[in-house]
Amino acid sequence: MDTLEQNKTEDYNTPSPWKSLAAGFAAALIPLIVFAIDKIWHFHLYQYTLLPRNLSGLRGIIFTPLIHGSWGHLMSNFTAIFALVALLHHHFRPFFYQLLIFIWVASGLWAWGFARPNYHLGASGIIYGLASFGFTSGILSGNLRLRSLSLLIAFLYGGFVWGIWPLPFNELISWELHLTGLLSGLGGAYIFKNQLPKAESASWDEEDEEMEFNEDYSDDSVDPNDEKEYPEKYS
């Protein structure tokens, strides 16, 4: 195994949970700090969030996930941000930040293109994207550890599926960001599928294989005078 392949294997097989927990905590803490600054100094940061089909609204692709409209809105996303960032950073560390950037930009850009002409704010698009990627990647890879992650995400966030439709009870939330986040997660799973850990496969220990060979083909296993075993001797 060459050095690059060995490093890739080590990244997947021996990840440190502390770095992943720190990444999750930082991802959840940043919107909290932004919210506190906005409320203390009254910056009205909602003006920097996503406003579809408006040139000034394009800046919302960058700022929308960091800005929340209320304390309840922020808290509803806080735990999910922490958990999903920590889990996916732990399991997909070699390309996690590339994945995060893709989901961040793609979900915002797609929502800017078709969402209702209102301000859209919050980290829900990122949350839906990470959950979608985590669930789909386990199915695509066939890796036992990632399949367990898929089941965990389905258990914790399976109810998210109701948040992507233009239903009456979704009028006050950005179901468009939820939908584009989910789609960006699916797209990310396809883009990074070749970098996913491979399914575990059974392998023979060389010593056991050699012993099995010797047992089957040792000199004592057949009678050298047996005409059935060595018909060429009697031709």
Range of the domain at 75: 16-195
Closest Cα to residue 36, out of 82, 83, 70? 70
CATH value at residue 101: 1.20.1540.10
Whole-structure pTM value: 0.81
At residue 201, the pLDDT reads 53
> Is residue 217 a part of any domain in this protein?
no
Q: Is residue 126 part of a domain?
A: yes
150-169 confidence digits (pLDDT tens): 999 999 999 999 999 999 88
Render pLDDT for 89-121 as a digit per residue (tens, 0 to 9).
999 999 999 999 999 999 999 999 999 999 999
Q: Is residue 45 part of a domain?
A: yes
Cα 126 from Cα 120, distance rounded (Å): 13
Task: Grade residue 84 by pLDDT with cuts at 50, 70 and 90.
Answer: very high
Does the pLDDT at position 212 exceed 70?
no
Domain presence at residue 222: no
- Rg value, the chain, Cα: 27
3-state secondary structure of 173: coil
Break the chain down into helix, strand, coil percent, rounded to 5. Answer: 75, 0, 25
Measure Cα distances from 204 to 1, 207, 209, 214, 217 in Å: 17, 8, 6, 15, 18
What's the average model confidence in pLDDT over 75-82?
96
* Confidence (pLDDT) at 16: 81
In a domain, 91, yes or no: yes
Tally of helices (H runs) and strands (E runs) in the chain: 9, 0
Q: What is the pLDDT of residues 7-50, one digit of tens each?
A: 454 455 556 899 999 999 999 999 999 999 999 999 999 999 99
Q: Summarize the confidence of residues 47-55 as an average pLDDT.
A: 97
Mean pLDDT, to the nearest integer, of 57-78? 96
What pLDDT is stored for residue 170 in this prediction? 86
Summarised one tens digit per residue, pLDDT across range 168-180 is 888 889 999 999 9
Tokens encoding 80: 């999910």
What mean pLDDT, rounded, does the chain reach?
85
Encoded amino acid at 48, one letter: Y
Are 143 and 198 spatial neighbours (Cβ–Cβ below 8 Å)?
Answer: yes
203's tokens: 């392998």
Q: Is the residue at 142 inside a domain?
A: yes
Number of domains making up the chain: 1
Q: Is residue 203 part of a domain?
A: no
Residue 84 lies in a domain: yes
